[in-house]
Amino acid sequence: MTIDNKQYLPSPSNTINGKLAEFKAWAAYRHWHKRLSKIIQNKKLTILECGCGPGFLSKLMKKWFTNVNLYVSDYEFALVERAKEELSDENTFNTFNAFQADAQKLPVQSEAIDILISFHMIEHLEIPKMFLQNAFRVLKPGGYLIYAAPNPDGIGAKIMKEKWGGIRPDHISVFSPQKWQEITLSVGFRLIEQGSTALSGIPIFQKFPLNIFNHGLLFIFGFFPWMKGEAYIGVYQKPIASTICCTNSLMSEPFSSDQLKSEDSKVLSVICCPETHQSLKLADDDLVNCLNQMITDKQLISCNNKPIEYPIDAALIQAYGTAIYPIRKGIPILL
């Protein structure tokens, strides 16, 4: 999976361009406040934004819903780092609530999440069904999956053809709304609501005065019950009575709370090993020092059989110590 950092990593939020990017994000996402409020209803739910980018949506959700437990992840470390910086102003944002991960493996404990949101990430995946299967696994019964993807059946795509903005080297799974619905239903979800956005993919609708009309529709309604807009939006729910398929998942008992630092126990009850979905725990200082010495001596090898080059701040270890995941700048790297 590849990400265009220039596209998704905006200027810092304390700059004029950064503030403008935040305003555009607020205008694009504001309608989700009302939609999500109907689901959350002041409950203390756990929300994961997968493919968080620079953290615009999560920052808004943290302000809208002060009672939720919010987690963010992305494949690119620079984006996770930016999201963590943006959310660090929020007093309730914990140390490891941001982590680097491959969404196709989704290193999250089964039935740990109430709402999983993923806007314009799934098209970057080689096997998006793996993500949807894992989304089904990590959601609690009755939990919601909400995602968006470019719509090749939209009017913009039909008019612009090969010049359509949805055609990019890092968009490797661009499917029709019908195909997305088919795949999502096949893993066990039920459809709650779907539709598409307006006509942003047509250049004339990006210019004054039609841009005011186009963005005004998005600002007020968000998306509509039609399939000819620029982006497909799907809202799905995991049935309350469901059987989780744990193929290739060696589930283990969570570590007892006395093995974890108190401020991290909640977080480590959510994230897990991406390969086996086993619980993780913090490595002690002696092990971290030993690992850093091995890195210095070029004796520590990654799963890709390449020497680890940079020292680590801390680490998470798998239940039986067979896998170690580094932590840099307070961000677990679960790849």
Write the pLDDT tens digit of every residue in 128-175. Answer: 999 999 999 999 999 999 999 999 999 999 999 999 999 999 999 999
The H helix count followed by the E strand count for the chain is 11, 11
Percent of the chain with pLDDT over 70: 87
Tokens 């029709």: give the residue. 176
Residues 277, 166: Cα–Cα separation, whole Å: 33
Give the per-residue pLDDT at 257: 35
Which DSSP symbol is given to 310? Answer: S
pTM of the full predicted structure? 0.87
- Tokens standing for residue 150: 């470019």
Whole-number pLDDT of residue 89? 66
Higher pLDDT, 259 or 120: 120
Buried b (16+ CB within 10 A) or exposed e, 113-140: bbbbbbbbbbbbbeebebbbbbbbbbbb
Q: What is the mean pLDDT of the chain?
A: 86
Burial 29-64, CB ≥16 within 10 A → b, else e: beebeeebeebbeeeebbbbbbbbbbbbbbbbbbeb
Q: Which two tokens stand for residue 214?
A: 């186009």
CATH number for the region 5-237 comes to 3.40.50.150
Domain boundaries, the chain: 5-237, 257-334
Predicted confidence (pLDDT) per residue in 300-331, tens digit = 888 778 888 889 999 999 866 678 899 988 89
Non-local CB neighbours of 277 within 8 Å, separated by 6+ positions = 107, 109, 110, 137, 246, 249, 250, 251
Tell me the per-residue pLDDT of 246-303, one tens digit each, with 9 for 90 and over: 333 323 333 333 433 444 555 677 999 998 888 898 889 999 999 899 999 988 888 7
Residues 6+ apart with CB under 8 A from 76: 3, 5, 8, 100
